[in-house]
Amino acid sequence: MKLILGLKQQIESIIGTSLDEYEITVEEWNQSAMQLIGWEQNQSGLPEMETPEEGQPKQEFASDAIASVKSLNTEERIYFKVKFNENERTLVCWGCSASSITTETRRLIELLITNSSDRIAEELPVIYENNREQELAELGKWLRQKIEHPAGQESIPERFSFRDEMHSEKIPFLLQCETPDAHRIRSKELNKLLGSYFGEDIMLIPLGEQDWLFLSDEQIVTGEAEEDTLEAKKDLLNAFCLGLYELVASEWAGVFHLSASMPCIPVHELSAITGLLQESIHLGRAFHVAQHIHLPWELHLERLVASIPEQQRLRFIKETGKDTVIFEDSETLATLETYFSLDCNVSETAKRLFIHRNTLIYRLDKIKQEIGYDVRSFESAVLVRLLLLMYKVTKKL
């Protein structure tokens, strides 16, 4: 089954925050519903649960009540039931912070999902061209399970025939796509495009309907680095990702997000690296909405800020933020982000923004007047950088 065109993207634009996707068992959803349904109804102002009709078994009545639950509020997060996988007895859910939406918005999202479910079309069964393609699909399913239920670092099971290929160093990439139904990317087409870009056959592992993990030989990507240093390889990999993103974006319509990691030994590290790449894209989308390439080593501070409880973030903004409404101004936002990305270099920032150096200094003085921090000093720059990140992740823009 598949949802109608761009539903997730439409909802995210309505609520102004991203929706995380989860796959859980029906039993897990039912247990949560049983625990929360009474609290949910009381908190939302809905009428209390009716009592079973005379002669109706309590178990049957409870099942009906659970089936009618379209979302669950755990006080910290809200989870929306999206679709049911009958073969695997699992549910796909979308989740967001409970504080990011109102009760009215929550009901609107439930209505949108319900309406789209009525128009879901059954997909044809997946037909694999060969055993290798089927095994790669099974590996993708195995990786999803390990990421959802981590139990330490686990090696790829020996049942996969290509396991021996994963003992050599490879560079993993993760591509997430949001494409219109009429332009949905097929694995076969993507595999062909990647093969032309990398100049070799790529190990393409499907992780979802429009999510792929693929592995490339290290020498193809970083083998031509001018210096044998970590920074030189990172720069080369970044340039490689830029070219790859432009190629994919020029081939298909939609929104694409790409992440990559430094070389690893897939047989032992693939599940952990895949989780890291998924986290990097999630952080990149939350903190840098205009960017599409999200590399793990460029998101250390964002990862730290995201790990801070929301109440602590709000407290920090309140105590140090002063007039953070300044971040709502697009010019100020662009100035600060460019300034920080160029290591607080005034001359380079002015060049990147195509403005005179004195114009930039005027803007920085204006920021100092507004919030009381001069970002040309180290301590103030650190505070404003943290403020800006926390302001973004708490969705106060």
136, 206 in Cβ contact below 8 A? Answer: yes
- Give CA–CA dist 233/239, Å, rounded: 10
Angle between the 300-307 and 378-393 helix axes, to the nearest 10 degrees? 60
Band of pLDDT at residue 72, cut at 50, 70 and 90:
confident
Q: Which H or E run includes 94? A: strand 90-97
Q: Quick: pLDDT tens for 193-249.
A: 998 898 887 899 999 888 999 999 888 877 666 677 888 888 889 999 999 999 999
CB 165 within 8 A of CB 281: no
Longest dimension (CA), the chain: 82
Closest CA to 215 of 255, 257, 267: 267
Question: Whose CA is closest to 116, among 147, 88, 81?
Answer: 81
Residue type for position 133 = E
Residue 176 has pLDDT above 70, yes or no: yes
For residues 289-294, give the mean pLDDT.
90
Residue 127 and residue 188: Cα distance in Å, rounded?
12
The per-residue pLDDT of the chain, averaged, comes to 81
pLDDT score for 114: 79
pLDDT in tens, 252-265: 888 899 999 999 99
- What is the DSSP-derived secondary structure letter of residue 323? S
Residues 57 and 65: their CA atoms lie apart, in Å, by 12
Quote the pLDDT of residue 37: 54
* Secondary structure element (H or E) that encloses residue 198, with its range: helix 187-198
Is residue 294 within 8 Å of 281, Cβ to Cβ? yes
Nearest to 70 by CA among 11, 43, 110, 129: 110
CB-CB contact of 1 with 123 (8 Å): yes
